[in-house]
Amino acid sequence: MGRFNLIEEAWIKVINLNGDNEMVSIRDVFAKASQYQALAGDTRTQDFAVLRILLAILQTVFIRYDLDGNLRELPEDDEDQEDLDSFDQSVIDDWREVWRKESFPNILFEYLEHWRDRFYLFDKEYPFMQVTKKEIDPVKISKPTPSSMAARNFNRLISESANKIALFSPKCDGKDQINKDILTESDLARWLITLQSYIGLSDKVIFGKEKYKASKGWLFDLGGIYFEGKNLFQTLWLNCILLHPDHTYRYQSPKPCWESEPSELIASYLTNLNPDNLATLYTVWSRAVYVDPESQLNEPFSCQIVKLPELEHKDQFLEPMTLWRFNRQGPNKEHFTPIKHVASQSLWRSFGLVALSSQAFDDHHQPGLITWIDQFADLLDRDLITLNSVSMQDDNNATSWVPTDEICDQLNVNAFTLIDLGEGRWVVRINDVVEKTKKVVSVTYKHFLDDLQEIRNQSGNKFSDKQVDALYYQIDGPFKKWLFSLDSQDNKDQRILEWYHVLYRIIKGQADQLVKRAGPRDYTGIVRDKEVKNIATVYNRFIYYLKKELKEEGMSGKEK
């Protein structure tokens, strides 16, 4: 008999509607989802990983069954189009009905009960997201023993290796201090899911003797995005894709990892790692993890791990919760790959990658999550939703890819700003504003900074880049406020002009500060092509081009 069943035991961290933290089970999450605000785990990357486990459950149930618990018959791609359309419509109608009721039907809980024995954290046959001892037998792996991972490295709040002590850790060794290698069952469950999603490559053991490209966790390389609603129910359901936008995957039967034998999973990873459904993708492993089922967590914890092969990144459009890059050079040339978020760049600067339809440009692929939610525009038009972004930062060492920090941001918007598609409509207009804003900062303003740097003979430093980053920081809050304030009935031209006035004042204000701090050398300047180039001349030219770029009414004359 297993121990610590994740369906029944409390291990998922949430915030309730009163703003208090709670620990709940999988059953509680689904039964009381509208009574919780959000997931509130140890890190945002952990929340993202746990969210996808919950989504795998939802997608498996509601693709297989209708709301009354009747088994759906998944169509074949070659069936009559009328039958396909009928199936699609029934699924969409069910999604709308669940959204309207804001509760999950009994079939979800019947599914959990049916697969209850696959959700034990400690078990000799089916440990959750783990293997049994026989799967990592020495004859099956590249070294005599698997890699060992202690709790202090398993827990990414500490991330301490055997060679280097983590300072300012939330856990400390020493007299009357909490041992860094002690985990609770709930800690272990959350970090196990996180490890399978984000781990890096510092461990060394693989299966067999032939080398393969090992996984550092599928989520590690994603520019992850997900919706957050007014409560956890909305968050779960907004991200629950029941009909994949790509018809290649639309009618595939869902199969999450817990429905397979550990040996079956390892064999599939080593021979044909090619998932065709979201439940498999959302529960994909990066490591064969062995935890002794007799482990007592009042003692220092360690587990054994073996690397598994990496999932193909090129054109992996099964993945709906990431941004995509079209590669024009390198080993992935002419293919799309996931693109991670950049620490210094707010999410709004990637608005086009998020919201524009895949039909807009040949080198653009819209995240499947956005494509899916587009069809519910009539339900969500003025609903307040949050678009979250999450990526794992690394040590920039290709031999280890150690996770070092997380990159997170969010956009609070009315839904129509992401799904009001069509020529001249909000999505396209907002993208134009974003691109114009980026151009006047990264080109027009930066040219002024480069001129100033040349005047000061400081071509070797990073003055321009630092000032550009500082300006984006100043713009970030006002732009998010403007975006959030948009209404679907607003006059688009007027609201866009309103932002350009704000943008002009911010950029001019930053440039004015540089002029105020100018020294004698800045005004003396340099001679280029028989003309004096000093801060006054480059500032005047900058203001001229700034007004020209923004095309504000009246700005060609008197300053606004």
The DSSP annotation for 146-198 comes to PEEEEHHHHSTTT---SSS--TT-SS--STTS--TT---HHHHHHHHHHHHHS
User: Residue 400: enclosing H or E segment and its boundaries?
Assistant: none
**3-state helix vs strand vs coil in the chain, percent to 5:** 45, 15, 40
pLDDT at 491: 92
- What b-and-e string marks burial along 84-115, b requiring 16 or more CB atoms within 10 Å of the CB? beebbeebeebbeebbeeeebbebbbebbeee
For the chain, state the CA radius of gyration. Answer: 27
Q: How far is CA 209 from the centre of its chain?
A: 34
pLDDT at 160: 56
pLDDT at 493: 92
pLDDT at 358: 82
pLDDT at 423: 56
Q: How far is CA 250 from the centre of its chain?
A: 22
Q: Determine contact, residues 347/422, Cβ cutoff 8 Å.
A: no
Q: DSSP character for 284?
A: -
Torsion of CA 151, 154, 155, 161, to 10 degrees: 80
Q: Which two tokens stand for residue 441?
A: 């900062």
pLDDT at 178: 57
pLDDT at 553: 44
d(CA 353, CA 322): 10
CA proximity to 407, closest of 475, 491, 494, 346: 346
pLDDT at 557: 43
pLDDT at 159: 55
d(CA 324, CA 370): 13
336-339 and 323-326 beta bridge pairing: antiparallel
pLDDT at 520: 92
Q: Determine contact, residues 82/429, Cβ cutoff 8 Å.
A: no
Per-domain residue ranges of the chain: 3-129+215-419, 426-550
- The CATH number corresponding to 426-550 among 3.30.1490.20, 3.40.1180.10, 3.40.50.2300, 1.10.132.100 equals 1.10.132.100
Q: How far is CA 14 from CA 20, 38, 220, 304, 409, in A?
A: 8, 6, 23, 29, 19
pLDDT at 552: 57
pLDDT at 158: 56
DSSP lists the bridge partners of residue 15 as 21, 38
Q: Determine contact, residues 409/162, Cβ cutoff 8 Å.
A: no
d(CA 115, CA 100): 28
**Could you tell me which residues come within 8 angstroms of residue 425 by beta carbon, excluding any fewer than 6 positions away?**
none
Which residue shows structure tokens 């990066």? 286
- Tell me which long-range contacts 354-360 makes (C-beta under 8 A, separation of at least 24): 354/225, 354/323, 354/387, 354/418, 355/417, 355/418, 355/419, 355/427, 355/430, 355/431, 356/427, 356/428, 356/431, 357/421
Give 10-residue mean pLDDT values along the chain (560 residues). Answer: 95 96 98 98 96 98 97 86 92 97 97 98 97 96 94 72 49 55 93 95 94 96 96 98 95 97 95 94 98 91 95 97 96 96 94 87 91 90 88 88 92 87 77 96 96 86 90 97 92 94 97 95 88 93 94 49
pTM of the predicted structure, to 2 decimals: 0.92
DSSP lists the bridge partners of residue 407 as 391
- The per-residue DSSP string of 317-380 comes to TT--SBEEEE-SSSTTTTSEEEE---TTS-GGGGHHHHHS-TTS-TT----HHHHHHHTTHHHH
Q: Determine contact, residues 249/318, Cβ cutoff 8 Å.
A: yes
DSSP lists the bridge partners of residue 293 as none
d(CA 135, CA 114): 25
